[in-house]
Amino acid sequence: MDVMQFPRMVVSSREGWDMVERMRPPMDMLFRRLVLPLSLLPPLMILLAGGGVGADVFPDARFANWLIAAVLFFVAEQFSVPIMANSIRLASIAKDGSGDLDDAYAVAAIAPVPLWLSSLAVIFGSVWFAVLIALIALGASAMLIRHGVDRLLGVHEEVEASEIAIQVISFGVLTWLGLLAVAAASLLLL
């Protein structure tokens, strides 16, 4: 997959998605080449935040707390992608789309890319900037889901594809908040 296609995939059901549709990458390849490397970014940024902006927000947290938060966040991320894939698959089936798990996993693996990349905003040292970038990334993820279910799962009706995107992104937001709660709990409780 070409990383340069991601911005186009946010705004189009064709560009970039046609390559994914042609390649039909298996789940294990998507995991090794996309999910695993990019899902390392947020835990690394959690560790980085421990010495910067995070120290202002959680002044009593020690490095061990930050390390536990990063590890728990990473583990939770690994569970969230297959759960999201199944959510996408079930939502697609409900709208008479394809129930193919490989295609649903492809959408679930591609959709969080903006969120994973948004964790890099921690480098700038501003909580508000990081939150703003995360909200923009959340919108981009919703559009990736919307275009992915259209192209890969065959839900071509615009309203139905948008409904799936809203349903899945709502579940995704809850999942992401859960991930953040896991990280924050390890900073506050230990």
pLDDT (tens digit, 9 = 90+) per residue, 89-119?
999 999 888 889 999 999 999 999 999 999 9
Q: How many domains does the chain have?
A: 1
* Domain assignment of residue 149, yes or no: yes
**pLDDT digits over 56-89, tens only?**
777 888 888 889 889 988 998 899 899 999 999 9
Residue closest to 118 by CA, chosen among 134, 97, 100, 103: 134
pLDDT above 90 (res 158): no
Mean pLDDT calculated for residue range 127-149? 91
* Domain assignment of residue 145, yes or no: yes
Range of the domain at 151: 14-189
* Domain assignment of residue 5, yes or no: no
* Domain assignment of residue 87, yes or no: yes
* Domain assignment of residue 152, yes or no: yes
For position 170, what pLDDT does the model report? 87
For position 1, what pLDDT does the model report? 61
d(CA 81, CA 35): 8
d(CA 170, CA 125): 28
d(CA 19, CA 6): 11
Among 12-16, 31-35, 116-120, 140-144, which stretch is predicted with the lowest mean pLDDT? 12-16
For position 29, what pLDDT does the model report? 95
* Domain assignment of residue 76, yes or no: yes
The pTM score is 0.88
Tokens of residue 30, six digits: 């998507």
* Domain assignment of residue 4, yes or no: no
> Is 83:175 a contact under the CB 8 Å cutoff?
yes
* Domain assignment of residue 58, yes or no: yes
> Is 140:59 a contact under the CB 8 Å cutoff?
no
Q: If you search the block for the tokens 């508000």, which residue do you land on? A: 128
pLDDT above 70 covers what percent of the chain? Answer: 97
pLDDT above 60 (res 190): no
For position 174, what pLDDT does the model report? 85
